[in-house]
Amino acid sequence: MCGIVGYIGSQDSKEILLKGLEKLEYRGYDSAGIAVMNEAGVTVFKDIGRIADLREVVDYDVFASVGIGHTRWATHGVPSKRNAHPHQCETERFTIVHNGVIENYELLKQKYLKDVDLVSDTDTEVIVQIVNKFVNDGMVVEQAFSETLRLLHGSYAIALLDCENRDTIYVAKNKSPLLVGVGEGFNVVASDAMATLQVTDQYIELMDKEVVILTKDNITIKNLDGIVMERAPFKAMIDASDIEKGTYPHYMLKEIDEQPAVVRKIVQKYQGDSGKLTFDKKIINACLEAERIFIVACGTSYHAGLVGKHLIENMAKIPVEVHLASEFSYNMPLLPKKPLFIFISQSGETADSRSVLVQVKEMGHKTLTMTNVPGSTLSREADFTLLLHAGPEIAVASTKAYTAQLAVLSIVAEVLGRAQGFNLNIDLVHELSIVANAMSTLVEDKHTFEEIATEFLSITSNCFFIGRAHDYYVGLEGALKLKEISYIYAEGFAGGELKHGPIALVEKGTPIFCLATQEHVNLSIRGNVKEVVARGANPCIISMDGLQMEGDRYVLPAVHPVLAPLVGVVPFQLISYYASLHRGCDVDKPRNLAKSVTVE
């Protein structure tokens, strides 16, 4: 997803902008740029590639205390220098950076910019050209800015410079995340507090369709009707050390290693004074009043939802459906009178999930967001929020957020079951501490998984993951991990489904990872392994202590069966990490991917 950073103050802005963009790199991008403004006007530096490439083209002799920066994840227009932000209008008076998608940009181009030669393929350039046109037609800048914003259909986070108003940055937000940072003698704007945490930890949330007139000493927030909105700043709850790699070679390895601590922290955060797990009574009641729960999510969060369904149905006896957010809008299932929607989202900014949230809220339904980012869009716009407490997850491939989602889902299931008086015969606090210990064992044994990655994945272009029951869902997650960071084609299959088609893909040497942690299907899944071995597959069986059999490649420490996914996924995370590393891929920022996908 694109990232935005802006600074207005008395210091030179270049390094603040570049460091800010570096903190946003984890979101994924393919080009970057900054625009700095001083009495000589606005100077733009931009290029395709990484921030390191951008640094090569910046003229460090230019002193400018106002500037904006941008990392672009291409939507309209291929990744190129021409399409990189910042973009300028034809007179070069106005300069803009934008995160989001303007759905009606072609119509606006035809209606307002017939006689303007656009230099890029982007929707963003249309915005800045229209602002310029409206000013040339006689509007003052603020009015031209607001009138342009009124025309836009879609999402935007915008920072705009006007070289004739050098003491101001014009800011606007709709659906895409954007914060204003409050400083002493300066102010900043950023897509994420992480970008400018080094200069301030005080931030003001912006709401949809708000405009900000930002100077170094003043922050004026207005809605599109020009009404001033007062809002107090909040303290960003990010510990600077959380967003540093420290001695780790990659954020992903650090975040895999953090999982035992995250599970322990979640238990602590959700333990009430009595020592029992609990959370906001209003949320408990909303869940218990629901006739059916609909979990809506994408990617890894969707995979967590698949496990969450079984946790909630088994412990709380509430029917649950799990849906891909990107499909839900068009395939809306028949809803009961009282559904409850749970949005699982690490970033809390995923556009596919957010658009379903908007849709079901308009229908009057209750919504709960489970997210790792307090104050994120999905958190702010849902009726309720449950936090994952996993700490910032920087690597594009989600690891600790996934196991945090499973841990929180298990707590939701247990609390709802207990609230209904069910005898669950599980001491979840105790069982989650066993899970954390098991995870510690696995991350300490990471080089065994490096050996497995070498043994099974060095000379392959595809790989399959099979399992039954919970292990099938973890196999889907394992396949996603492997494909998204090593670019090996990987797919997860239900073990029993192989014979209905996928087994045709099995050739001599095809690596097949099999997870066997569920006693009631242990023999069945091993039967499936025999089927693929008979056709030449190279099996890697990862089982759980107590269920292991001759030939298993790795035996996981035993944990409660319903919590096995939290442990079963760790080998797949590590195997994927090492496969990516050995292939020379960019582990933390894999090609084509963004950490939080704010476009639909």
Name residues contacting ligand AGP, limited to 371-400 (CB under 6 A).
Answer: 396-398
Q: How far is the CA of 245 from the CAs of 26, 131, 200, 274, in angstroms?
A: 12, 41, 21, 37
Rounded CA separation 394/392 (Å): 6
Q: Least distance in Å: CB of 99 to ligand AGP?
A: 15
By beta-carbon proximity to ligand AGP, the closer residue of 9 and 391 is: 391
350 binds ligand AGP, rule: CB under 6 A? yes
Helix (H, G, I), strand (E, B) or coil at 71: strand
Rounded CA separation 541/525 (Å): 10
306 binds ligand AGP, rule: CB under 6 A? no
Q: Least distance in Å: CB of 375 to ligand AGP?
A: 14
Interacting stretch for ligand AGP, rule CB under 6 A, among 39-47, 52-60, 286-294, 340-348? Answer: 340-348
597 binds ligand AGP, rule: CB under 6 A? yes
Rounded CA separation 335/320 (Å): 12
Interacting stretch for ligand AGP, rule CB under 6 A, among 305-313, 341-349, 553-561, 562-570? Answer: 341-349
Question: Does residue 595 carry a catalytic annotation?
Answer: yes
Q: Least distance in Å: CB of 344 to ligand AGP?
A: 7
Phi-psi region of 419 (alpha: psi -120 to 50; beta: other; left: phi over 0): alpha
Question: Which of 2, 89, 287, 463 is an active site residue?
Answer: 2
By beta-carbon proximity to ligand AGP, the closer residue of 45 and 577 is: 577
200 binds ligand AGP, rule: CB under 6 A? no
576 binds ligand AGP, rule: CB under 6 A? no
Q: 261: which 2 tokens?
A: 């601590």
For residue 149, give the nearest of 179, 173, 125, 123 by alpha carbon: 173
By beta-carbon proximity to ligand AGP, the closer residue of 73 and 145 is: 73
Q: Which residues of 239-257 are buried (b: 16+ CB within 10 A; e: fewer)?
A: eeebbeeeeeebbbbbbbb
By beta-carbon proximity to ligand AGP, the closer residue of 162 and 477 is: 477
Of residues 99, 300, 367, 440, which one binds ligand AGP by CB under 6 A? 300
Q: Least distance in Å: CB of 485 to ligand AGP?
A: 8
Of residues 99, 200, 347, 510, which one binds ligand AGP by CB under 6 A? 347
367 binds ligand AGP, rule: CB under 6 A? no
By beta-carbon proximity to ligand AGP, the closer residue of 99 and 596 is: 596
Interacting stretch for ligand AGP, rule CB under 6 A, among 49-57, 83-91, 339-347, 443-451? Answer: 339-347
Sign of CA dihedral 192, 198, 204, 209: negative
Question: Does residue 276 carry a catalytic annotation?
Answer: no
Q: Least distance in Å: CB of 226 to ligand AGP?
A: 34
Provide the strand spans (E) within 206-332: 210-214, 219-223, 234-235, 292-297, 320-324
By beta-carbon proximity to ligand AGP, the closer residue of 42 and 298 is: 298
346 binds ligand AGP, rule: CB under 6 A? yes
The residue at minimum Cβ distance from ligand AGP is: 299
Rounded CA separation 205/202 (Å): 10
580 binds ligand AGP, rule: CB under 6 A? no
478 binds ligand AGP, rule: CB under 6 A? no
By beta-carbon proximity to ligand AGP, the closer residue of 543 and 573 is: 573
By beta-carbon proximity to ligand AGP, the closer residue of 345 and 486 is: 345
By beta-carbon proximity to ligand AGP, the closer residue of 263 and 480 is: 480
Q: Least distance in Å: CB of 399 to ligand AGP?
A: 8
Answer for the pair 169, 65: CB distance below 8 angstroms, yes or no. no
Q: Least distance in Å: CB of 304 to ligand AGP?
A: 8
Rounded CA separation 528/539 (Å): 11
DSSP for residue 228: B
528 binds ligand AGP, rule: CB under 6 A? no
For residue 560, give the nearest of 378, 395, 426 by alpha carbon: 426
Q: 58: which 2 tokens?
A: 């910046």
Task: Give 413-417 contacts, CB < 8 A, sequence gap 24+.
Answer: 413/308, 413/311, 413/312, 413/314, 413/315, 413/316, 414/277, 414/315, 415/277, 415/278, 415/279, 415/284, 416/284, 416/287, 416/288, 416/312, 416/315, 416/316, 416/318, 417/315, 417/316, 417/317
DSSP for residue 175: B
Name residues contacting ligand AGP, limited to 280-299 (CB under 6 A).
Answer: 298-299
Q: Least distance in Å: CB of 579 to ligand AGP?
A: 15
Q: Least distance in Å: CB of 280 to ligand AGP?
A: 22
How many other C-beta atoms can be found within 10 angstroms of the C-beta atom of residue 438?
23
Rounded CA separation 332/321 (Å): 12
For residue 242, give the nearest of 253, 251, 250 by alpha carbon: 251
DSSP 524-588: HHHHHHHHHHTTT-EEEEEEETTT--TT-SEEEPP--GGGHHHHHHHHHHHHHHHHHHHTT--SS
Rounded CA separation 216/167 (Å): 7
Interacting stretch for ligand AGP, rule CB under 6 A, among 126-134, 334-342, 344-352, 359-367? Answer: 344-352
Q: Least distance in Å: CB of 346 to ligand AGP?
A: 4
By beta-carbon proximity to ligand AGP, the closer residue of 492 and 495 is: 492
176 binds ligand AGP, rule: CB under 6 A? no
DSSP for residue 60: T
Helix (H, G, I), strand (E, B) or coil at 62: coil
Of residues 165, 345, 410, 543, which one binds ligand AGP by CB under 6 A? 345
Answer for the pair 164, 93: CB distance below 8 angstroms, yes or no. yes
Of residues 47, 192, 484, 588, which one binds ligand AGP by CB under 6 A? 484
By beta-carbon proximity to ligand AGP, the closer residue of 266 and 532 is: 266
Could you give the residue numbers annotated as active site? 2, 595
Residues that bind ligand AGP (CB under 6 A): 298-301, 345-347, 350, 353, 396-398, 480, 484, 596-597
